[in-house]
Amino acid sequence: MDITQILITVVAVVGIIVVCVLAIVPTVMNIPRPDRVDQPRPKHKSDVHLAA
């Protein structure tokens, strides 16, 4: 392989890694963490009460 082909391959791989990191990191950072749970979630659909 020529040095140019190796350089292009390395730059392409680094670019793919940068795009993946920029896509994943903000998503992980924005996940809200609940402080506390006031009301537990219903276990069954029949336990859900809809407001009229």
Over residues 10-43, the pLDDT tens digits come to 999 999 999 999 988 877 777 776 666 566 666 6
- Which of residues 36 and 2 earns the better pLDDT score? 2
Tell me the C-alpha distance between 8 and 21, whole Å: 20
pLDDT for 3 beyond 70: yes
In this predicted structure, what is the pLDDT of residue 26?
79
pLDDT for 46 beyond 90: no
How many residues are present in the chain? 52
